[in-house]
Structure 1
Amino acid sequence: MNWGNLESLLSGVNKYSTGFGRIWLAVVFVFRVMVFVVAAERVWSDDQKDFDCNTRQPGCANACYDFFFPLSHTRIWALQLIFVTCPTFMVVMHVAYREERERKYRLAHGDNARLYDNPGQKHGGLWWTYLLSLFFKTFMEVAFLYLLYYIYHNFELPRRVQCNLWPCPNQVDCYIGRPTEKTVFTYFMVGASAVCIVLNVCEIFYLIAMRMVKISHRGRLRGTSSKRRSSDTYCGGYTVTPEENNKENLAFMEKSGSIF
């Protein structure tokens, strides 16, 4: 897997992300992708060779290894990283779609015409795309954590497992290579995934809160404008505001001598 291409694709997402999204992207690359590429793959590179059973029966060690390790940790983490980063491309594709619409609109109506104030601004359909991508990323993070726990029943790897599968002659003891080191990396990757889940949840609440603030602000502005329109006085074919009406009353009272 070429993680460099993935990094170059996701690097352009920063300008469309919030502060939480930028922190999430940094955590993904520094604490997950880099650790996975530099260390985790090497730790699990010879896991089947180091899986040793106290029997020489041909095929017994392979059957036991396949039973206890149906899906390698590194394969699960690679799929997890792909599934949690791909939803971010939905935002990039939506922005590219907006920019193409903006280009066609200017060609049809002139260079000064604008369809969007900012194609990358998160409002309208782009806001929903960004929010749905966060929900999908959070769901996939939780799903892969549950999958890892469901397959191995724990995040900690045991030193010894007992196996009585065919073609083993009887119940044999099998030993996992470097279980402590693998357990440390497993907890580290699980912790980094949990941090990403927290960041996604915080960003979801942040987007919803900012949207509610904008809606309430628009409601107050509309209420203020409607009050102003209702407080105006219609006179002689044109509208007179209360301030203008007060000025006219004061002038009339000065002329009539009723004000001192």
Structure 2
Amino acid sequence: MGDWEFLQKLLDQVQEHSTVIGKIWLTVLFIFRILILGLAGESVWGDEQSDFVCNTKQPGCTNVCYDKAFPISHIRYWVLQFLFVSTPTLIYLGHVVYLSRKEEKLKKQESELRAVHSKDPKIEQALAALEKKMSKIYMTESGRLKIRGALMWTYITSVICKSIFEAGFLVGQWYLYGFSMVPRYVCKRDPCPHQVDCFISRPTEKSIFIIFMLVMGLISLILNLLELFHLCCKSLLSNIKKVSGPAALSQDTFVDDMVSSPYAPKHYPFLPMAESHAPSYQTYNKLSSEQNWANYRNEESLALGTGSRPLSDPYPPQPAEASAPEEKPGSRPGSSASKKQYV
């Protein structure tokens, strides 16, 4: 069947730069298709032509009937299928290697320019151009390439090509052989003198092997379609984030401008939780006490002018540390002495 080690080494490198579904597809390709075909394929199909027997002794009749029954051997058909299906993946691997080498080359040029330690405008322009080129190559923290930008489109194209090849070879196998192997094949072709019956060895075993390879091909096709759907959704979400990113940034800037207004903060001292509540209350008590003393002196002078008995001092002198006295009804302008004076 040939040596598959070189192809397996190449496809192993693809696993490092594939999605989870892509890694599952490679596992199915290696273990359930290439490995099974290499171990059991030749033993099952090795006697395909030698045990193909027809009920005639006409020279050349058996060969032409075998050619008509099997236009291409199943083993060679599946090998050709694996090569076609793996080719888009190898092209994607070539793009990965190209970007990796390009990124290393740009880093080397950047380190050489930064080692100059010069403020030449040409060097700064060259550094800016290198940084612009490196920004188009998306790398992870571990140094591996991210599936973004041009690499994303290469990966999507490779998955589409794999899906087309898988579907095409499945249809071709159904068209050439069907889904089972019949034990008797009827042939009518020159140089056979008449209709000839030809017999195939181990048809049931071969039919089981054909069905197994068809099922593996269908699973690979479904995995390719799922991966294509996953990549399209991922690309769509990234584009939506790019479009909505500047709008959200401008909205946040507008909110920040509204919150940080240029006006000084206002104080409300009469609110219960205000810090300046106590000083305002003390100022209010001081003004009220001075007004009461003024009213008392006014009433006393009016009483002396009319010859009545002077009023007793309702506010005896108090020490300076004492708190302000409570307001009494006699200290107001509506007292009895003021009423008599006005009468």
Fold similarity call, TM over 0.5: yes
Does the CA-based 8 Å contact 2:138-2:145 persist in structure 1? Answer: no
Which residue is equivalent to 1:243? Answer: 259
Which residue is equivalent to 1:139? Answer: 164
Which residue is equivalent to 2:67? Answer: 66
Q: Percent identity?
A: 36
Deviations 1:4-51 (A, max 9, x none): 111111111111011101100000011000111011122111111111
Alignment partner of 2:185 out of 161, 168, 178: 161
Which residue is equivalent to 2:11? Answer: 10
Letter of the 2:109 partner, please give it: A
TM-score normalised according to structure 1 size: 0.89
Which residue is equivalent to 2:214? Answer: 190
Separation of aligned partners in 2, 1:82 and 1:6: 9
Shift in Å, 1:214: 2.0
Alignment length (residue pairs): 247
Name the larger-Rg structure: 2
Comparing 109-118 and 25-34, the one that deviates more:
109-118
Shift in Å, 1:159: 0.8
Separation of aligned partners in 2, 1:15 and 1:98: 14
Which residue is equivalent to 1:23? Answer: 24
Separation of aligned partners in 1, 2:138 and 2:77: 42
Separation of aligned partners in 2, 1:133 and 1:61: 43
Letter of the 2:156 partner, please give it: L
Q: Which has the higher contact order (CA 8 A, sep 6+)?
A: 1
Letter of the 2:191 partner, please give it: P
Alignment partner of 2:249 out of 200, 207, 225: 225
Shift in Å, 1:216: 2.2
TM-score normalised according to structure 2 size: 0.68
- The runs of 5 or more residues in structure 1 that have no matched partner are 233-240
- The runs of 5 or more residues in structure 2 that have no matched partner are 115-129, 275-343
Does the CA-based 8 Å contact 2:28-2:216 persist in structure 1? Answer: yes
Match of 2:241, SS state, is: helix
Does the CA-based 8 Å contact 2:138-2:148 persist in structure 1? Answer: no
Letter of the 1:11 partner, please give it: D
Which residue is equivalent to 1:235? Answer: none
Separation of aligned partners in 1, 2:223 and 2:255: 48
Separation of aligned partners in 1, 2:9 and 2:252: 53
Q: 1:244 to 1:215 in 2, by over 3 A?
A: same
Separation of aligned partners in 2, 1:257 and 1:163: 109
